[in-house]
């Protein structure tokens, strides 16, 4: 029995560390199993994620349009009218000549550009409501489908589509 106990104690001494815990590394088989699982997950997930950048850009454009829409509402509260098409969205960051009560500091820190690096478009009066704020989409051209489609405040629930805005 002393042979087995001395052998076990010498093996235990080799694998014990300073804090008394047994330390063991991963075997090659365990590492390979993890790599195979990750590869399988990547083949399933990556194609789905590759379609997501367009969705993210569209969501960002909608978010920017909501922010511009809100800034235009504040502008109207102060000045009793929306900026003209000629004054454009620039009236939200720099005071136009005829603004009666333009807010010190403006209504936006800076004008956002759409996710495709184009300026947002503005019409007042708009074709869909009191004003239209929109992006021309990925292609930068009117119309289109998918990521190339125009994205406007008239498409947003609660957007400024009413003629009374």
How far is it, in rounded angstroms, from Cα 93 to Cα 96? 9
| Number of neighbours of residue 149 by Cβ within 10 angstroms | 17
Q: Are 118 and 140 in contact (CB under 8 A)?
A: yes
Considering the entire predicted model, what is its pTM?
A: 0.64
Which CATH number characterizes residue 149's domain? Answer: 3.30.700.10
Q: Which helix (H) or strand (E) holds 9?
A: helix 2-15
Number of domains, the chain: 1
| Number of neighbours of residue 144 by Cβ within 10 angstroms | 14
Over 80: is that where the pLDDT of 159 sits? no
Tens digit of each residue's pLDDT (9 = 90 or more) over 73-89:
999 999 999 999 999 99
| Residue 164 in domain | no
| Residue 136 in domain | yes
Tens digit of each residue's pLDDT (9 = 90 or more) over 93-147:
999 988 788 888 899 999 999 999 999 999 999 898 899 999 998 888 888 787 7
């Amino acid at each position: 029995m002393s042979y087995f106990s001395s052998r076990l104690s010498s093996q235990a001494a080799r694998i014990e560390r300073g804090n008394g815990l047994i330390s063991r590394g991963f075997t090659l088989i365990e590492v390979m199993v993890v790599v195979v699982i990750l590869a399988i997950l990547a083949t399933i997930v990556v194609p789905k994620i590759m379609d997501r950048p367009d969705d993210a850009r569209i969501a960002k454009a909608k978010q920017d349009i909501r922010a511009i829409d809100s800034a235009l509402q504040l502008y109207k509260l102060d000045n009793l009218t929306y900026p003209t098409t000629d004054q454009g969205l620039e009236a939200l960051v720099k005071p136009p000549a005829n603004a009666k009560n333009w807010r010190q500091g403006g209504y936006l820190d800076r004008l956002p550009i759409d996710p495709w690096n184009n300026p947002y478009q503005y019409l007042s009066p708009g074709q869909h409501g009191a004003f239209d704020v929109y992006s021309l989409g990925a292609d930068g051209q009117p119309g289109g489908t998918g990521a190339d489609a125009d994205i406007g405040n008239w498409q947003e629930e609660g957007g400024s589509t009413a003629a009374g805005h």
